[in-house]
Amino acid sequence: MSLLAIADLDPERVVRLVRLGAEVKKNSSAYTTALAGRSIGLFFQKQSLRTWVSCDVAAIQLGIHPIVIRNDQTGLGTRETPEDVGRVLDRYLDLLAMRVFDHGDLVAIDDATSAPVVNLLSDLEHPCQAIADLMTLAEHKPLEESTIAYIGDGNNVCHSLILAAAMAGVQVMVATPHGYEPAADVVAAAGEHSSVTVTDDPAEAVEGADAVYTDVWASMGQEDEAVLRRRHFSGYQVDLPLFEQARPDAVFLHCLPAHRGDEVSHEVIEHPRSRVFDQAENRLHSFKAILLDELG
């Protein structure tokens, strides 16, 4: 089945993906031919570093042949409709993974294909990132015993994180300025699985947290809002005094790229308890888990 949003999963599958990612990371050689002979498409409408490289390498290490498709070659929505792109690629591929601006394009393509479609990032969600995030948190502490604090924009990363974390039994605290809260329906859905609190007070959010997470204040496509957002988020930087209000063994998480001096200080991202590069590595193992779950 397709993975367009965390809501496409249930709690059991979220936990299964996290555990499978950990297993693949520990015993990667056992999976080198697990999906031999399969072909997948990796479609990129937006810039990418971690997603592009981790997904390409993950596919190859499972025996899959990945095809990287750039939007300047495809013209999604200009040269061809999303539906026609989907119907053509469906004839060639066992799975299509896509990084797009508009979540509606993913939905249109998914409706036109029989092969599963995986969201590598859209304006609504970033589900693959959330599985890697939970893998990283689980390496620090059992998920059902954990509290995670997210500080900053209630964006696509935040949406996927709070819903996936809640499904895995993690307690979630979110601190955002007024007007930048995560979508109410996502918060409500997450609240059906675990405790989810949204506040405008970063100190309240991080108190007693096992992990403190942040993301950029202005994502790709929001560059013209960067100056305004920097003013609105000026009190939401994860600096050392804020980080130290979390538990003494708390870890710091960031999906990267990071704007040091904006959403996070240099001291925190380089802190001994920063796990941002473990988190980046886990994009590789978590995508392997998703491919194995979808195609195995």
Cite the active site residues.
Answer: 99, 126, 129, 215, 255, 283
Torsion of CA 147, 256, 243, 207, to 10 degrees: -20
* 8 Å CB contact between 198 and 186: no
* 8 Å CB contact between 147 and 196: no
* 8 Å CB contact between 123 and 102: yes
How far apart, in whole angstroms, are the C-alpha atoms of residue 153 and residue 200? Answer: 11
For the beta sheet containing 211-214, the strands, ordered from the edge strand earlier in sequence to the opposite edge, are 196-199, 171-175, 147-151, 211-214, 251-254
* 8 Å CB contact between 260 and 266: yes
Query: Which among 237, 77, 102, 91 has a CA at the least distance from the CA of 156?
Result: 102
* DSSP 8-state code for residue 219: -
How far apart, in whole angstroms, are the C-alpha atoms of residue 18 and residue 253? Answer: 16
Scored b (16 or more CB within 10 A) or e, 24-49 reads bbeeeeebeebbeebebbbbbbbebe
